[in-house]
Structure 1
Amino acid sequence: MTSARNTSRVAPSSKASFGVDLHLELRGRGLRAGLTDALRDAVRSGRLTQGTLLPSSRSLAADLGIARNTVVKAYSALVAEGWLSTQQGSGTRVAHNAAPRRASGKTVSRPTHNLRSGQPDVSAFPRALWLRAARKAITQAPDEALGYCDPLGRIELRAALAEYLARARGVHATVDRVIVCSGVAHGLMLLAQVLRTRGVGAIAVESYGLHIHRGLLAAAGLHTPALAIDENGARTGELAEMPGVGAVLLTAAHHFPTGVELRADRRAAAVDWARSTGGLIIEDDYDGEFRYDGQSVGALQELAPDQTIYLGTASKSLAPGLRLGWMVVPEALAQDIERAKGEVDWMSSTLEQLILAEFLSSGGYDRHVRTMRLQYRRRRDQLVAALAARAPGIRVTGLAAGLHAVVEVPRGTEESALQAATRFGVTTDGIDLFRHADVPPDRDALIIGYATPSRSAWAGALDALCRALA
């Protein structure tokens, strides 16, 4: 909506009613000077960004109630100054060299290469396959699917997930035990609410893990004591020595961030603890599909489906922007979680659920995962080879699976390594970011998300990282 001050209005032309909206305020100095200043300030402040299409002179004049010639002269003045550009057939736009003025008087530089963990190569999102699934799913969707639906999620998606998880991850899943959510964090929020209501006061968490997840549990009033991690995963045998703990959060197939696998005897120890105490295992299988060396590691849930809450997400396999995740829960918890979800978030987007259901059922999901598994394995191998050649002595671990690697650096040098990475335009995180506050530092490393860059950006990101660590 466009507004003007200190102007006299004329009748708008019906020919100018089909344009883009632009909010401007004209103050003092006459109409042409006021309009010129308002447009210039909008570009300077960054409110109108480079390439933005402006209304036609006829449309803007009609909206402001001023003569068209006034707008033409204002546009011409700003084109001459370099703020705007005009081309026959493409209208008037903010010029590409018109940079907004920063508060400091300097243009803020941004890191060139994103190697943070936790995100796939979103440029590889299977757009064509997804669109095909979307057309079919939306065409076949019943009318009632577009209304309010079951807070557990659409039956089509829950059925497709139950089949896929049983086949690909070894999960014991039936439709009535699958609950759709917006991701692992959303699932943890719901679980924390339910477990707190059930009298659970503490959930053990791995000594290194996502601080966001610990924060969500703590915000719900739960204590989060640390369970030590070593080269064989979480020391689950120590759960028996942690009084008051009613549940444990584990990344069993591929620990985040160290990348180790929970060894078989420690899986058994977690199950024994849960069965003997009535405790619950919360399994975050965040990137279980991406294993490169040896046989795929199945879900821990397979060993104890009545003691385990399984969490999965499309954020690593497809894209975080889909905001789709899932839980497979023990029968005894299903109604409580359904009630909690219904109270705070009646349902996730129905259309995305229907599309993902079709994508799973048609085999598109499997094909995409296999394609990306090959791509990420290639990147992993390139990372290891490049660091071995250009930064000898640097040890890379956590390589058997997942979307990130652990690049170990000498003790006491993590912060300087991060600063060196920044100087070379690389954004990444140190392992200390993920350390539990009650655990003293015992290692220094960079967590390198080799899946994050686009295919075209990967080579440059790898080169910059090698130069920083050399």
Structure 2
Amino acid sequence: MTESWATFGTDLHLDTSGSTGLRAGLMDALREAVRTGRLAPGTRLPSSRSLAADLGMARNTVADAYAELVAEGWLTARQGSGTRVARRAEPRRSATRVVRTRPAGARPVHNLRSGSPDLATFPRTEWLKAARRALAAAPHDAFGYGDPRGRVELRTVLADYLARARGVHADPERIMICAGFAQALKLMGDVLRKRRVRDVAVEAYGLFLHRDLLRDAGLRLPCLPVDGFGARTGELAGMRGVGAVLMTPAHQFPTGVPLHPDRRAAAVDWARATGGLILEDDYDGEFRYDRQPVGALQGLDPESVVHLGTTSKSLAPGLRLGWMVMPERLVGEVCEAKGVSDWSSSALDQLTLAEFIASGAYDRHVRAMRLRYRRRRDQLVAALAERAPHVRVSGIAAGLHAVVELPPGTEPAALRAAAWQGLALEGLTRFRHPDAEPERDALVIGYGTPTDSAWAGALDALCRVLPPEPEPEPEPEVGTWTGTA
């Protein structure tokens, strides 16, 4: 039986052109591959028989080339181990580019940045079980390109979960699975631009990354003020030309306040009256502690709100799994935009998440993490009350971060002190819209980010960088008047 060339072992690309003679060309190509590091020390080379068949050479030619390179010290050959690149053969280092690694002392020792959960708590065992069940039950078409909206199994499970947990009116046909929130927002930016929307209002405080994604779509981003009741949605009616608004109604990021019911109603009234769209970022709606859950804004008017969610806070951002629940009028346009640029997250990851939710593992994980994060929140509040009673903590009824109010003008100094302590920290100023008026100095503390073993050290470092209590203003001296009336 004739053996197929496709059954031979390791693939090895070699350019043997430019040399006189087959053996000389092969030796030059192998030396160059080793010299440049493309073949690392210890790499096992194909057998002479396999490489000869691959290159269309005689086996003796390859064997002779190997033998000569062994003699030169480029390769080694041992019985039972095959032919390998010699360990002492170091790749040539570029003389034109020097890469310097950052000093170890410059890396943060502790991390209290917002935006990430405790990655060490990812439910590996339960996720693996769900992945095995999902893979065993996966239909053959799961390995094809499929629907740009994503796997119907996940969309169906999500529709039920979002209705139950977040009050979202969802139909699987109107759900789009995306590679995280960023892709969903980029798609909406492209669709809005094609709809001739030019201005999208954004909250005075929010992630600059989200503003950049919309700006890259060619949209202008007027600033919607934020106060202690959330975004001032009553001002939307006076913002001429605005066709959509990006909001965080359940838990304003980063100030941490929920949108007041009157302002929720005002936002929906504006959308109905103008035909505008509300882009609802429900980034951590599952985590609440001292209040009743605030349902999704989408429940008030599913035809005016695009509900955007993700697993980045509840599970891990590395999964790159998010979704949007769209008004019916947008489904075709968003599918067209997504089908052109990207065919979604891995189908197997989608099927795994569907199984993870359907089995109840997702609910159990969220409840467990809610308790864990609440303990951290309580420890943060207690430590500040003991060691820095002059600072006020806000935005703590829900979510994975808190806002620590600072005396006016002290935020820059606190951030410099944090860098000196090796503490990664963000100030409220970082999240302010360029057109928003500076209102207050504060730190945004991401208490979900550290692992359990790092949490105590991060909390201690935070307390050390907070500014001291301001000295009280001296009372004016009261003089003695000795004159006469």
* 259, 262, 268: which one aligns with 1:265: 262
Matched, 1:210 2:234: no
Matched, 1:131 2:141: no
Deviating more after overlay: 190-199 vs 326-335: 190-199
Q: 1:224 to 1:58 in 2, by over 3 A?
A: closer
Matched, 1:25 2:22: no
Q: 1:70 to 1:221 in 2, by over 3 A?
A: closer
Matched, 1:338 2:335: yes
Per-residue CA deviation, residues 306-348 of structure 1 (Å, 9 max, x unaligned), is 1000000011110111001000010011111111110111232
Q: 1:172 is aligned with what amino acid?
A: H
Matched, 1:55 2:42: yes
Matched, 1:439 2:449: no
* TM-score of the superposed pair, with normalisation by structure 2: 0.78
- What are the equivalent positions in structure 2 for 1:415-426 lying under 5 Å apart? 415-426=412-423
Matched, 1:461 2:448: no
Q: 1:149 to 1:389 in 2, by over 3 A?
A: same
The alpha-carbon deviation at position 72 of structure 1 amounts to 12
The alpha-carbon deviation at position 109 of structure 1 amounts to 2.8
Q: 2:395 matched to which residue of 1?
A: 398
Per-residue CA deviation, residues 253-312 of structure 1 (Å, 9 max, x unaligned), is 000000010000000000111111111111000000001112111101111111000000
Per-residue CA deviation, residues 340-375 of structure 1 (Å, 9 max, x unaligned), is 110111232101100000001001110111111110
Contact 1:122 1:454 in 2 (8 A): yes
Contact 1:149 1:347 in 2 (8 A): no
The alpha-carbon deviation at position 56 of structure 1 amounts to 8.7
Per-residue CA deviation, residues 44-74 of structure 1 (Å, 9 max, x unaligned), is xxx9xxxxx9639999xx989655996999x
Q: 2:195 is aligned with what amino acid?
A: R
Q: 1:275 matched to which residue of 2?
A: 272
Q: Secondary structure of the residue that 2:312 maps to in structure 1?
A: coil
Contact 2:201 2:245 in 1 (8 A): yes
- What are the equivalent positions in structure 2 for 1:37-48 lying under 5 Å apart? none
Distance 2:344 2:464 in 1: 47
Aligned residues with identical type, % of pairs: 60
The alpha-carbon deviation at position 415 of structure 1 amounts to 1.0
**Rg larger in 1 or in 2?**
2
Q: 1:166 is aligned with what amino acid?
A: A
Return 5+ residue gaps in structure 2 as ranges.
1-11, 15-22, 24-31, 47-64, 77-86, 89-97, 468-485
Q: Secondary structure of the residue that 1:326 maps to in structure 2?
A: strand
Contact 2:66 2:75 in 1 (8 A): no
Q: 2:157 matched to which residue of 1?
A: 160
The alpha-carbon deviation at position 400 of structure 1 amounts to 0.6
Q: 1:143 to 1:466 in 2, by over 3 A?
A: same
Per-residue CA deviation, residues 231-265 of structure 1 (Å, 9 max, x unaligned), is 00000001001000011111000000000100000
Contact 1:283 1:300 in 2 (8 A): yes
The alpha-carbon deviation at position 103 of structure 1 amounts to 4.0
Distance 1:211 1:24 in 2: 45
Deviating more after overlay: 290-299 vs 63-72: 63-72
- What are the equivalent positions in structure 2 for 1:274-293 lying under 5 Å apart? 274-293=271-290
Per-residue CA deviation, residues 161-195 of structure 1 (Å, 9 max, x unaligned), is 00000000000001111111111111111111111
The alpha-carbon deviation at position 25 of structure 1 amounts to 2.1
Distance 2:230 2:296 in 1: 14
Per-residue CA deviation, residues 189-242 of structure 1 (Å, 9 max, x unaligned), is 111111111121111110111111111111111111000000000000010010
Matched, 1:452 2:449: yes
Q: Secondary structure of the residue that 1:406 maps to in structure 2?
A: strand
Q: C-alpha root-mean-square deviation of aligned residues, in Å?
A: 3.2
* TM-score of the superposed pair, with normalisation by structure 1: 0.81
Q: 1:207 is aligned with what amino acid?
A: A
Q: 1:55 to 1:178 in 2, by over 3 A?
A: same
Q: Secondary structure of the residue that 2:35 maps to in structure 1?
A: coil
Distance 1:195 1:206 in 2: 18
How many residues in Structure 1 have an aligned counterpart in Structure 2?
412
Q: 1:238 matched to which residue of 2?
A: 235
The alpha-carbon deviation at position 468 of structure 1 amounts to 1.8
Distance 1:141 1:103 in 2: 47
Per-residue CA deviation, residues 75-95 of structure 1 (Å, 9 max, x unaligned), is xxxxxxxxxxxxxxxxx99xx
* 197, 215, 219: which one aligns with 2:216: 219
Distance 1:166 1:244 in 2: 33
